[in-house]
Amino acid sequence: MLKGKIDSSSGRKNIYGYLLDTDKSESRNCTLSIDNGAHRIVCKCDNDIFTNYTQNKFGHGYHGFRTAVPDALKDGKEHVVELIDEETGSVVDTKSLVFRKDKELEAVKSVINSVKKKEVSKPYTSYSTDLTNIPDGVNIAYILDDKYVIPTCVSAISAISNKHSSSVYNFFFITNEISEHCASLLNSLSSSTVNVYIVQTELKELKDLHVFSSRSYCVATESALLKFKLPSYLSTLSKVLYLDGDIIIRTDLSELFSTDVSDYYLAAVEDSGTLYSQNPIVLKYERYFNSGVMLLNLDLLRQENKQQVLIETKKNSNDSTLMDQNVFNEVLQSKVKYLSIKYNCLFVNLIRACQKFEMEALNKKYNEQFSSLPELAEKALLVHYSSKDKPWKFSNTPLAAEWYSYYLKMCLELGLPKDSIKRECSLLSKNDTVYIEPDRPRIIVSMTTFPARIGIVHIPLQEILSQSVRPDKVLLWLAEPQFPNREKDLPDELLKLQEKGVTICWAKEDIKAHKKYFYTMQKYPHDLVITVDDDLHYSHYMIERLLDSYKRNPHCVSASRVHLMLANSGEDSSRMIRPYKTWKHEYDKWVNQPSMQLFPTCGAGTLFPPYSLRKETFNIEKIKRECLDADDVWLKMNMVLSGTSVVLCDVRQRLRYVENSQDVALWKTNVIEGNNDVQINTLISNSDHADTIISKIFEYAPYPNKEAKQQAKTSRAKK
């Protein structure tokens, strides 16, 4: 049986499903009628099936590595018998379908014609059963199926890439079902010092043990329950390092594997969620470990028959929050050796929960001395993408670029990640493929100007081009309505800079100072964007200082100049922030101290990391309606709602204006006449998140005034 999927986003209802006319060995589009009117069924091969089995491009959207082979095909049936409309529950009679060819599916035909009738991919049958002559080395176990083979391969590639040349790795891939193609991917990892064993198992005994719930935050599938039976699957091994498939390994694993666990069931890392979790299951244990990285003492587990105890405990549990982890803690809690957090860094979870705990508490729990989460991320040896924000689904997941770097080593194609403002949607068609460069993000300096300053803009641009660290691109955005003749309206001094590296870009409408970030961040989503103004002189080391700050604080906006936002007293959230003119200016003590309370003046040299701003930042209609004259204010409010802190990169820098640049200046209106305050209050009062904005700015402020403390407390109470 194959379930269809209703999609009403286009204004007409479409049912997206997969059909296969096996008599003709091809997929086709078709139309039909059901109870609630005429619908169109678009019959397409799953993008990931196509990618996995042909290594070619197939542009029908990207939905993660989900190799959803239709049940009808897996069962060897000649026809899809039923198609379910998930919205109405109606069963569609496939005999009523009228087939017609679709040129777009020529690629699919080549896939289907390349295999036997009745199946998309033959199951893999050459499983390794003889585990009696395993060479000495580091034993590593993964559990996977076709849906998780790509992430698992990426994890294994990272381990191989960082091992010592003399180290021998024995990979044991435990699976209950896998295709020949996916098995070939796993076997391709073999080398003179890397041995691959694919171990076939049965999930039947474990299949119904887990109770699924819509309220659960469980990410794992039932295959994770195979962990319980590792002692019997790997009966000839004394010890094995189990790893989840969503982990990147940055070090040789020999030292970790040599950890003495002779008196323990396992060695693991205390789950960092214990810093902030209120889950009663977690709280009932003095220490609660994460089961994604476990060095298992298989001999002791077999000796005390813990395998069966794990299965029985899961069977008698109605817990739906996690697949296996709670059971491991329940059964094996008494003999766990705890490892450094470096061996299982749940960085995405920590970033999401960063306001729920202090670094001091983290250091105390793990007996470490990290100054910040970015330092932890830098020093982590195993990075675990344990949340739902997998890097292969969301390109803006923290540390996603590192995952992609190993993915690209496999020479596999990556379709567009979904649900991300970082997609260059206006630049790429659905058939395009995105490759993320594995080395470093580019440095893009972005500026805008207008007719009153077009004659002097070449001066700051020349200073940008002669920086101690030269940027990869220097962009100058101009509005077409202001320069209707384009280059003919520009001075020679500016045009000559094109030969030295300045790119003149044209915007179809004038959104004032917003032009300096608006288009660049969308065009270069994976890169570092530095915004500068057109009326300032810049230090020779401006970019270098910003980059040094970025390396120390990679998830913060680094600014050359900042102000300290101060709070008013009172209950009205739209009036909680003091007038802009009263805010404190830079102090040396603010340097390298990230805070939501700091307000960057984005033209003096401000570095925005990739993905530091939410999608709504680029809502052009809202910009024009609510904050057209104050780009700094607009950006700051969106930094707050994006959870992005600000850090001052260096000691206070004096503004040096370009001569004859201040005859027309927006700061006179915004600062002296109070327009910044008007637009701040407008944004907060119009926002559905007014209390959240105030709370985020002031609750964790390192330099709060009395009013700030009180307003944060008031906002928290309102929630």
Which range is least confidently modeled, 7-16, 312-321, 361-370, 566-575?
7-16
| SS3 at position 371 | coil
Read off the tokens for 280. 């009663």
Please tell me which residue, 573 or 172, carries the higher pLDDT value: 172
In the β-sheet with 604-608, what is the strand arrangement from edge to edge?
A: 502-507, 473-479, 443-448, 528-532, 604-608, 557-559, 646-648
Query: For residue 193, what pLDDT is reported?
Result: 93
If we measure between CA atoms, which residue out of 367, 306, 370, 304 comes closest to residue 338?
Answer: 367
Task: Name, of 62-66, 141-145, 335-339, 540-544, the range with top average pLDDT.
Answer: 335-339
Domains of the chain plus CATH, in order, are: 2-113 (no CATH), 138-342 (3.90.550.10), 443-718 (3.90.550.10)
CA distances from 564 to 345, 702, 703, 707 (A): 33, 10, 8, 14
Quick one: CA dihedral 68, 70, 71, 77, positive or negative?
A: negative
Q: Evaluate if residue 211 carries a pLDDT over 60.
A: no
**Percent of the chain topping pLDDT 90:** 35
Distance of CA 146 to the CA centre of its chain: 22
Q: Evaluate if residue 546 carries a pLDDT over 90.
A: yes
Q: Residue 638: enclosing H or E segment and its boundaries?
A: helix 631-642
- Answer whether 257's CB lies under 8 Å from 295's CB: yes
Q: Evaluate if residue 426 carries a pLDDT over 60.
A: no
Average pLDDT for 103-128: 40
- Answer whether 289's CB lies under 8 Å from 328's CB: yes
CA distances from 142 to 85, 170, 171, 221, 292 (A): 37, 11, 8, 14, 10
Q: Evaluate if residue 367 carries a pLDDT over 60.
A: yes
Distance of CA 600 to the CA centre of its chain: 25
Query: For residue 38, what pLDDT is reported?
Result: 31
User: How many CA atoms within 13 Å lie on the side-chain side of 329?
Assistant: 21
Confidence of residue 410 (pLDDT cuts 50, 70, 90): low
Q: Evaluate if residue 302 carries a pLDDT over 70.
A: yes
Q: What is the mean pLDDT of the chain?
A: 73
Quick one: CA dihedral 67, 71, 74, 79, positive or negative?
A: negative
Query: For residue 254, what pLDDT is reported?
Result: 97
Please tell me which residue, 275 or 184, carries the higher pLDDT value: 275
Which range is least confidently modeled, 6-10, 33-37, 77-81, 235-239?
33-37
- Answer whether 336's CB lies under 8 Å from 325's CB: no
Query: For residue 289, what pLDDT is reported?
Result: 94
Read off the tokens for 636. 């700051």
Query: For residue 390, what pLDDT is reported?
Result: 84
Query: For residue 122, what pLDDT is reported?
Result: 54
Q: What is the DSSP letter of 191?
A: B
Query: CB-based contacts of 417: which residues, under 8 Å, 6+ apart?
Result: 62, 392, 393, 394, 395, 423, 434
Confidence of residue 220 (pLDDT cuts 50, 70, 90): low
Which range is least confidently modeled, 59-63, 177-181, 517-521?
59-63
Q: Evaluate if residue 464 carries a pLDDT over 90.
A: yes
Query: For residue 209, what pLDDT is reported?
Result: 60
CA distances from 374 to 262, 557, 606 (A): 35, 13, 19
Confidence of residue 430 (pLDDT cuts 50, 70, 90): very low
Checking DSSP bridges between strand 473-479 and strand 502-507, what pairing results, if any? parallel
Q: Evaluate if residue 79 carries a pLDDT over 50.
A: no
- Answer whether 476's CB lies under 8 Å from 448's CB: yes
User: How many CA atoms within 13 Å lie on the side-chain side of 282?
Assistant: 14
> Angle CA(284)–CA(290)–CA(294) in degrees, nearest 5?
130
Q: Evaluate if residue 297 carries a pLDDT over 90.
A: yes
- Answer whether 321's CB lies under 8 Å from 218's CB: yes
Please tell me which residue, 472 or 714, carries the higher pLDDT value: 472
Quick one: CA dihedral 322, 324, 328, 330, positive or negative?
A: positive
Q: Is 334 left (phi over 0), alpha (psi -120 to 50) or beta?
A: alpha
Query: For residue 239, what pLDDT is reported?
Result: 97
* Distance from C-alpha of 430 to C-alpha of 625, rounded to nearest angstrom: 31
Average pLDDT for 317-342: 85
Query: CB-based contacts of 210: which residues, under 8 Å, 6+ apart?
Result: 218, 222, 225, 314, 320, 323
Beta bridge partners of 84: 3, 91
Which range is least confidently modeled, 44-58, 349-363, 600-614?
44-58
* Distance from C-alpha of 561 to C-alpha of 715, rounded to nearest angstrom: 28
Average pLDDT for 265-281: 89
Q: Evaluate if residue 261 carries a pLDDT over 50.
A: yes
Q: Evaluate if residue 484 carries a pLDDT over 90.
A: yes
- Answer whether 448's CB lies under 8 Å from 477's CB: yes
Query: For residue 55, what pLDDT is reported?
Result: 28
Please tell me which residue, 670 or 580, carries the higher pLDDT value: 580
Please tell me which residue, 301 or 526, carries the higher pLDDT value: 301
Task: Output the CA torsion 393→396→399→400 (10° steps).
Answer: 40
Task: Output the CA torsion 61→67→71→72 (10° steps).
Answer: 70
Query: For residue 30, what pLDDT is reported?
Result: 31
Beta bridge partners of 710: none
- Answer whether 149's CB lies under 8 Å from 186's CB: yes
Query: CB-based contacts of 312: which residues, under 8 Å, 6+ apart?
Result: none
Q: Evaluate if residue 260 carries a pLDDT over 50.
A: yes
Read off the tokens for 648. 């001052």
Please tell me which residue, 519 or 89, carries the higher pLDDT value: 519
Read off the tokens for 591. 């340097």
Residue 178 class from Cβ within 10 Å (0-12 exposed, 13-18 middle, 19+ buried)? Answer: buried
Confidence of residue 492 (pLDDT cuts 50, 70, 90): very high
Q: Evaluate if residue 402 carries a pLDDT over 80.
A: yes
Query: For residue 664, what pLDDT is reported?
Result: 61
Average pLDDT for 304-311: 91
Please tell me the total number of residues recorded for the chain in this structure: 719
Query: For residue 124, what pLDDT is reported?
Result: 55
Tens digits of residue pLDDT in 92-105: 444 433 322 333 23
Q: Evaluate if residue 368 carries a pLDDT over 90.
A: yes
**Percent of the chain topping pLDDT 70:** 66
Confidence of residue 337 (pLDDT cuts 50, 70, 90): very high
Confidence of residue 479 (pLDDT cuts 50, 70, 90): very high
Q: Evaluate if residue 536 carries a pLDDT over 80.
A: yes
Beta bridge partners of 564: 584, 598
If we measure between CA atoms, which residue out of 448, 456, 561 comes closest to residue 509?
Answer: 448
Q: Evaluate if residue 705 carries a pLDDT over 50.
A: no
Coarse DSSP helix, strand, coil percentages of the chain, rounded to the nearest 5 percent:
35, 20, 45
Query: For residue 125, what pLDDT is reported?
Result: 52
Confidence of residue 698 (pLDDT cuts 50, 70, 90): confident
Please tell me which residue, 317 or 248, carries the higher pLDDT value: 248
Query: For residue 669, what pLDDT is reported?
Result: 63
Tens digits of residue pLDDT in 570-609: 554 445 688 877 887 766 667 788 988 899 987 789 999 9
Q: Evaluate if residue 136 carries a pLDDT over 70.
A: yes
Query: For residue 672, what pLDDT is reported?
Result: 60
Beta bridge partners of 170: 139, 195
Please tell me which residue, 96 or 236, carries the higher pLDDT value: 236
* Distance from C-alpha of 390 to C-alpha of 400, rounded to nearest angstrom: 8
Query: For residue 575, what pLDDT is reported?
Result: 54
pTM beyond 0.75, yes or no: no
* Distance from C-alpha of 229 to C-alpha of 202, rounded to nearest angstrom: 10
Query: For residue 587, what pLDDT is reported?
Result: 64
Distance of CA 49 to the CA centre of its chain: 23
- Answer whether 379's CB lies under 8 Å from 366's CB: no
Query: For residue 315, what pLDDT is reported?
Result: 81
Tens digits of residue pLDDT in 678-692: 877 777 777 776 777
In the β-sheet with 5-7, what is the strand arrangement from edge to edge?
A: 5-7, 14-17, 37-43, 29-34, 98-100
Average pLDDT for 398-425: 55
